[in-house]
A and B are shown apart, each in its own frame.
Chain A
Amino acid sequence: MNPAASAPALRTREARVGLALLAVLGLASLAVALGWLAQGWDQAIDDQWSGPSLAHWFGTNRLGQDVFDRALVGLLTAFSVGGIVTVGAITLGALLGGLAGWHSGSAVDEALQYLMGVIDSIPIYLLAVALAFSLGGGESAIILAMVLSFWTATARLVRAEVARLREREFILAARAIGLPAWAILGRHLLPNTVHILLVQATLTFVAAIKTEVILSFLGIGAQDGVSWGLMLAESTQDVLAGHFGNFLAASLLLFLLLLGLNLVADALQDAFDLREPAR
């Protein structure tokens, strides 16, 4: 399977919409990161709970902060948490999955499979929360917690693929001529698992963002700065008094980002015929 196949796959209308969404949101979060946008997110600039206006598109919150500015900072949080978790979980999954697959049937494989079995037997929120607590809470804690809980899905797929490829002729041939393992890995195995990693990356990104929002809502995630989960937690108090700004801003951006990611993930899955039903 050729990873270049992803290029035409992304030419469908759905995929283009997804990519466009991701591009716009990505640029916006870059602008926040570079300090061009939403810099006043922590300033109490106006009255409490002022309604939507040209100056404040989604109004202000209880402290008089601009809700939309905060939602934009939440966008940056989502991108950075999602990105780090994805890179971490995919790397870990690829390495350990590859290791298990290459040595499939050996003690190493058994041990790694056992480890995955243990991790997958604990409900994800419980594991993430327990890890986050034990790491002292905060953003880095939940990132690590998610990496440690999410890598198994990728590892299982990579393991199966590598175990299958290992017995294929071109690999057997490469081994026969004495090519070192790392060379085989780099030249033959990695290119042949990239499609799995790519699809898994989009799925992990989605899962990471969703989980971060819920953990932050439950009070275990972001400490300083803004997360959509925190905004949604605030909104549950606001709606009592009839203020919907926090809820609308956070859930709108959250929906758009997840939609973009899902559309791209779909296109990739179609292209590689990798529809993974279980989840």
Chain B
Amino acid sequence: MRPLRLLSSLLKRLGYGLALMLGVTLLSFTLMVQFGPDKTFELLGKNPTGEQIAEVRRELGYDRPFIVRYGAWLGSLVRGDLGASDTTGEAVAPLLARALPVTLALVLPGYLVGNLFGLLLGMLAAWHRGGAWDRLVLGGSVAGLSLSFLVIIILLQILLSTPYGLDLFPTRGWRVTDLSSYLHYVTVPTLALIGVTLGYNTRFYRAIVLEELGREHIRTARAFGATGREVLFVHVLRNGLVPIVTRLLYSIPLVVVSGSLLLETYFGIPGVGKITFDAMTSGDQPVLLAVVTLTAVGFVAVQVLADTACRMADPRMAQS
């Protein structure tokens, strides 16, 4: 019976996911295409005639009714065609395929280290709940939460990449050819990403650990003489795995786009965020739509995945 139920819940999730996709694309199409920036005048030469203006608008598809354009776009999306950039003319799929690895290489270290540090600090604070360590970690995380991403980036850049500071790393760019050049370019963005997420991560993990520490089996284990390290890394982690993995998964699509947007724009790194920002400021609708759609696909996929994984891991949830 269980596999069947799993399958039906999976299908239901997928159905909902599809409906969600339809909503996301409709909303973003309305905002970005119907009301978005107009590219006509960027594509016109000097001294254009009225006829030329009309030609460019026709070329861009601006003259067709909204519903026709949306339909046509959905149609090509279903066929796996994301269209071509209105700026360079390059097909969107290879454009993003080229950018995605760069973005992953850029954000993954910060994302992983940020979560790892958050987990360790959260454990430290929770273990000493109410004590000096707890107060220190919490105080530090409040300060961290109060720093804007932007301030962290500029500050780190001044301190690490300019003659006014240590001047150790490049101010911008991404000319990665091997491990050492990778570390050279990724360090400052990684530190910035850790800086902006550490406060949130620490609080999240502290709450999880606290909750687990309060459970019966942990108290039993401790009564039976388990060491602090065993309790934290074995018992607490094992039981807290579901919320932790869920959070890790859920944040990926957003980290990849939102997190990279500012970092890549600021550091001039040719990843998804920079492409997205360039598309925004130049009104490159096919690229924007592709980014939004793919993010939403990732989001829905993660939801289905997380949900299914949780159900398989924890049969009790399947009942509810």
Chains A and B directly touch (beta carbon < 8 Å)? yes
- A residues with a Cβ closer than 8 A to B are 14, 114-115, 117-119, 121-127, 129-131, 133-135, 206, 210, 213-214, 217-219, 229, 232, 235-236, 239, 242, 244, 247, 251, 254-255, 258-259, 261-263, 266, 275, 277-279
**A123 lies within 8 A of B34 (CB):** no
CA distance in complex: A129, B261 (Å): 12
CA distance in complex: A218, B148 (Å): 14
Q: Which residues of B contact A114 (CB under 8 A)?
A: 19-20, 23
**B258 lies within 8 A of A126 (CB):** yes
**A134 lies within 8 A of B207 (CB):** no
Q: Which residues of A contact B150 (CB under 8 A)?
A: 213-214, 217, 229, 232
Q: Which residues of A contact B154 (CB under 8 A)?
A: 232, 235-236, 239, 247, 251
Question: Beyond A119-B27, A125-B257: 7 further Cβ-contacts under 8 Å?
Answer: A14-B142, A115-B23, A134-B31, A135-B35, A232-B151, A251-B151, A277-B207
CB distance from B124 to the nearest CB of A (A): 17
- With A130-B32, A213-B150 in contact, do A121 and B145 touch (Cβ < 8 Å)? no
Q: Which residues of B contact A263 (CB under 8 A)?
A: 142
**B146 lies within 8 A of A262 (CB):** yes
Tell which of A210, A247, A277 touches B204, judged by Cβ atoms closer than 8 Å: A277
**A118 lies within 8 A of B280 (CB):** no
| B308 lies within 8 A of chain A by Cβ | no
Q: Which residues of A contact B207 (CB under 8 A)?
A: 275, 277
| B187 lies within 8 A of chain A by Cβ | no
Q: Mark B1-41, 1 if CB is under 8 A from A, else 0.
A: 00000000000000010011001100110111011110000
Q: Is the interface of B mostly helix, strand, loop or mixed?
A: helix
Q: How many residues of B contact A (CB 8 A)?
A: 56
Q: Is the interface of A mostly helix, strand, loop or mixed?
A: helix
| B176 lies within 8 A of chain A by Cβ | no
- With A123-B258, A133-B36 in contact, do A218 and B146 touch (Cβ < 8 Å)? no
Tell which of B145, B146, B148, B292 touches A122, judged by Cβ atoms closer than 8 Å: B292
CA distance in complex: A127, B262 (Å): 15
Q: Which residues of A contact B34 (CB under 8 A)?
A: 134
**B204 lies within 8 A of A130 (CB):** no
Q: Which residues of B contact A125 (CB under 8 A)?
A: 257-258, 261-262
- With A214-B150, A232-B151, A251-B155 in contact, do A278 and B247 touch (Cβ < 8 Å)? yes
| B254 lies within 8 A of chain A by Cβ | yes
Tell which of A129, A133, A134, A206 touches B145, judged by Cβ atoms closer than 8 Å: A206
CA distance in complex: A130, B279 (Å): 11
Please tell me which stretch of B104-112, B217-225, B294-302 contacts chain A, meaning at least 4 of its Cβ atoms lie within 8 angstroms of it.
B294-302
Tell which of B16, B30, B149, B158 touches A214, judged by Cβ atoms closer than 8 Å: B149
Q: Mark B151-178, 1 if CB is under 8 A from A, else 0.
A: 1001100100010100000000000000
**A122 lies within 8 A of B291 (CB):** no
CA distance in complex: A122, B293 (Å): 8
**A123 lies within 8 A of B253 (CB):** yes
Tell which of B37, B158, B257 touches A126, judged by Cβ atoms closer than 8 Å: B257
**B142 lies within 8 A of A266 (CB):** yes
**B257 lies within 8 A of A118 (CB):** no
Q: Which residues of A contact B36 (CB under 8 A)?
A: 130, 133-134
Give the 8 A-B CB pairs with smallest separation, nearest first.
A134-B35, A118-B23, A258-B146, A259-B146, A277-B204, A130-B31, A251-B151, A123-B257
| B67 lies within 8 A of chain A by Cβ | no
Complex interface residues of chain B between 248 and 304 (CB less than 8 A to chain A): 250, 253-254, 257-258, 261-262, 265, 276-277, 280-281, 288, 291-292, 295-296, 299-300
**B146 lies within 8 A of A255 (CB):** yes
**B24 lies within 8 A of A255 (CB):** no
CA distance in complex: A122, B258 (Å): 10
What are 24 contact pairs spanning A and B, CB under 8 A?
A114-B20, A117-B20, A123-B258, A123-B295, A125-B261, A126-B257, A126-B258, A126-B288, A126-B295, A129-B280, A130-B28, A130-B288, A130-B292, A133-B36, A134-B35, A217-B150, A229-B150, A235-B154, A239-B162, A258-B147, A259-B142, A262-B145, A277-B207, A277-B208
Tell which of B27, B142, B253 touches A262, judged by Cβ atoms closer than 8 Å: B142
